[in-house]
Each structure stands twice: as structure tokens, then as C-alpha cells.
A and B are shown apart, each in its own frame.
Chain A
């Protein structure tokens, strides 16, 4: 893989070329197979990035090209030996050129929040009320007609602006380098494009994300759906964690110790309540109420508010189809939490899931507590702030709760192995 950056008028263009052994098909760190659509993309932060350390440019490029890189990655300007080593140790790729005179990037002092406007990153913004927000805004790619206009990135930005917080928007078309399964981040970390590019200008020593316990510790989303202390995307000692640290920009996961129900509780009890939006399809006034994400998040919200489900979605709708099948589900811990608490769950699209899972309030109480190893994993100097906030608002998990985390999904994994 060979990579080139070109900056003009504040827009950073990334172009890359495949090595002979590389193919259009690649694999994301979480195992998802992806297909390359085109070999260029752009990032445009709302403020000029100025001089950017070559390790940051290499890191940002790597969040785009990693799925397709097999043996080596060649950048257009020398990188530090430290970053090259992190790439080599993490992925087994030869990375360079290494400049003898390129010092590793020194960590700055500030923490920026990668803010999407959803409940999880809003909770992070509540924990760090003075930290600047950086938001990724999808824009069209000059070479690919946008056939996915239902995705309302303009709404997300407008809501983020309405928070009144220090906000920097980074526009990018990098999601359109994917043709399969659909446009999206080549690696999840590409969402950090703006923060990476502006890290020097903003004097950043860390970037905070809203990944919660399901994503960090339970293998949630499209990952393995079981306990993952060594999660390669999000653990500090995983390959991505070490790479970001090598670039002087460690990832910070302030809410990795709590569940989505608790991040939602924090967000909806905060000043940001009116700007919180997890739906990617709604307009400026409201969420769409018809997509799968609206349904899933409504279950969680109904649970924390102790009320029946408010939805017009019925079990026969395509967006509710996955809850009619047998578990495991991505985000299953929240399905259990919701089913145990929402009155009249047997008359909702989650009735089937409830029958399979049979959760109780007692069996899901651990999802209202903090997983202590997640606190230990927050890098200094922000660990203390996170620990104080979370322990002031939630109980710590006891041994039984921790056992539930640390055996999560193992039964399914064993079943898979036997099958």
C-alpha cells in the first residue's frame, strides 16, 4: 500500500495505491469483509490544520487503508520509528519510510471528544463539560454519486451546533471508499479524522469516544458478541490502542465501564437532552421513529423511564426482524435490560426475544453498575475525573456482576465451537 497526502485550501486529499499482492477485497479489524470502491478521499476540517506531524497523517491514512494492506505501507513523508514499530507490532506490516530525524509526536495537554450527537458521546460530553467537540460530517464524494441521502449528516451537525459547546466539524467523504457492504468507515477509527488532523493545532493529548461496555468489553456491534478484554479496536493494549498512543494521541473511553442504558440516563438528564439524537435519518425536528436504531433505543429509553414502549413498529416489519430470531444479538445485554423492565413487553416487537432470553431485573442489575477495569484503562490525566463522576453516580460492580461481564457470550461461543 502506498499513500499520498495533498493539501489545498484546507482540504486534505488522500490517495493510495495497491501493492501487487493486494486486492479490492479487504478485512476490517472486527472481521468484516469490505470491498474498495475508489482510492481517494478528502478530509476538510472547519479550521485549517496547519502543520501536521507526519505520524498523525500516517495514523489517519491507516484508518482508511488498513483493511487492504497486506505486507507493507509506504507513506509519502518519513514517519517516526515509534509509529513504524507500532504498525509492525500490531499488523505485521513494514511501515516507512522511517526518518532518523523524525521525533515521535509529543502528547499535548487537551482532550477532545469525538462527538456524534448520540447518547453515548453526549454522556462523555457531560463528564467532560469543558472539552471541545469534534464531529465527523459525511459529504458526497466527487467520484461517487450519493445514493444514500437518507443519512442526514446535516441534521447531526445542526444538533451538535445547538449544544452551544466548542465544536469543530470535519467534513469528509472517506466513507465512500467502501463499496461493500455500503459506504461507511473503512476502520471504525476513521471517525476520528478531524481530531487526528487537528491534534497539533488543538494541542491534543487524547481523544475521547463514546464506546460503552457493550462495544469495549462484550464484543458488541458486528464483532464477536463475547467478553473481549483484548478487544483489538478499543483496548489500550490492543493494536489500535498502541498505535494511537504511539502517535501521542491515546484513545480515551470514559464510558466503557457502563452500559448504553446508563449513558442514555446521563445524556437525558443533562443540559444536552434536547440535542441528543441517535437516529441518523430524522430531520431537524425529530428522529424518524421507523428505523431499527430508533426501535432499539426506544426499548432502552422506555426501560430507564419505566414506561411501556412507544412505537408504531410491529413485529412483522423488516426492521424488527432480527428480534424475532434466536439470540445472540448485537447489543443483547440491552435487549435483556429492556425486556426485564418495560411493562407489556409481550405485546411489542421484542416479545419473541423476551421469550428466548427470559431476563429479570435481578439478572440485569449489573448493567446499572460500573465495571472497574474500564476505569483503570482510562489514560492519565483523565482517569481521576472519570472515576469520580461514575462512582458518584453509579455503584461499582461486585464479584457476581463482574462474573457476568467476564463470562458474557461464552456459552454461545462454546455452542459455536461444538456446532
Chain B
């Protein structure tokens, strides 16, 4: 059955119905938002799983010792000591070279005196003495 309804009333009724339902455009946006939500949740789940795996694998370490407020000073002190010790060692080693030089000089002088006191034949063997010194040094070592 068809009945003529005035256009004014028809519009009013339709507007009333439309107001009770969501528009197409809103529907599309809602669906898109929901999808985005699902995707980001999926990413979060993956990240959380990775985190769980990492934590599972990680060995439990003891908590680090509380920072020693005196540490910087101790490090500086150790460095100073190391540098001064190294410099002192260098000087000792150099002194040792000079002491050997003095010993050699005295030995050479003794050798000359002994030869002079001996039969006087004392040939001056420039390359003989050091071999003897080397032998002595080896014995001492």
C-alpha cells in the first residue's frame, strides 16, 4: 500500500533514522583504527616475547658493588706510582751500565799493574782483555 506522505515529514523521519546509525565514513575510520591497533599490539607482543627470551637467557648477575667515592683518587695515585717507578727503574738500569763501565776500567787498570809487576813483557792486547772480562761476566751471571 502506498500512501502519500508529505516531503517535510518524510525528511524529518529519515533524519531521525539516520541519526541513530553510524555513517559509512565513520565506519571506515573505525575499521582502520582497529586494524592499526591490532598491528601495533602484534608488534608489542613480538617485542615482549623477545624481552622474555632475553631475560630468560640472561644469567642473574650480582648487583654491582656500590661506587667507591675514593676510586678516582686511587686510580690517580696508582698511575703516579707506576710512572715514577718506571722512571726510577730506567735510572737504575742506566746506573748499572755506568757501574759496569767503572768496574771494567778498574779491572783494566789492575791488569796493567799486574803485568807491570810481572816479567814486564806485558804486551798490550787490545782485544784480549775483553774476552777475559766476558768470561768473568758469564761466570758471574
Listed stretches B38-46, B50-58, B62-70, B92-100; interface member: B92-100
Is the CB–CB distance between A4 and B89 below 8 Å? Answer: no
Closest to B108 in A: A20
Residues in B with CB closer than 8 Å to A76 are 130-131, 134
Is the CB–CB distance between B105 and A20 below 8 Å? Answer: yes
Pairs across A and B, CB under 8 Å, 29 listed = A2-B104, A2-B133, A4-B134, A4-B137, A17-B100, A17-B101, A17-B133, A18-B98, A18-B101, A18-B104, A20-B101, A20-B105, A24-B98, A35-B94, A36-B94, A37-B93, A38-B93, A38-B96, A39-B97, A74-B127, A74-B130, A76-B130, A76-B131, A76-B134, A96-B126, A97-B127, A143-B89, A179-B90, A179-B94
Is the CB–CB distance between B94 and A17 below 8 Å? Answer: no
Which of B's residues lie within 8 Å of A, judged by CB?
86, 89-90, 93-94, 96-98, 100-101, 104-105, 126-127, 130-131, 133-134, 137-138
A144 in the interface (beta carbon within 8 A)? yes
CA distance A72 to B133 in the complex (A): 16
Closest to B128 in A: A97
CB contact list, A11-65 vs B, under 8 A:
15, 17-20, 22, 24, 35-39
Is the CB–CB distance between A37 and B90 below 8 Å? Answer: yes
Is the CB–CB distance between B101 and A145 below 8 Å? Answer: no
Q: Is the interface of B mostly helix, strand, loop or mixed?
A: helix
User: Which residue from A2, A72, A147 sits with its C-beta under 8 Å from B134?
Assistant: A2
How many positions in chain A have a CB within 8 Å of any CB in the partner chain?
26
Is the CB–CB distance between B96 and A72 below 8 Å? Answer: no
CA distance A147 to B85 in the complex (A): 12
Residues in B with CB closer than 8 Å to A72 are 126
Interface centre among B90, B98, B138 (most CB of A within 10 A): B90
Residues in A with CB closer than 8 Å to B86 are 145, 147
CA distance A94 to B127 in the complex (A): 10
Closest to B97 in A: A39
Nearest CB of chain B from residue A135's CB, rounded to whole Å:
28
Contacts A4-B137, A20-B105, A144-B90; A38 near B131 (Cβ below 8 A): no
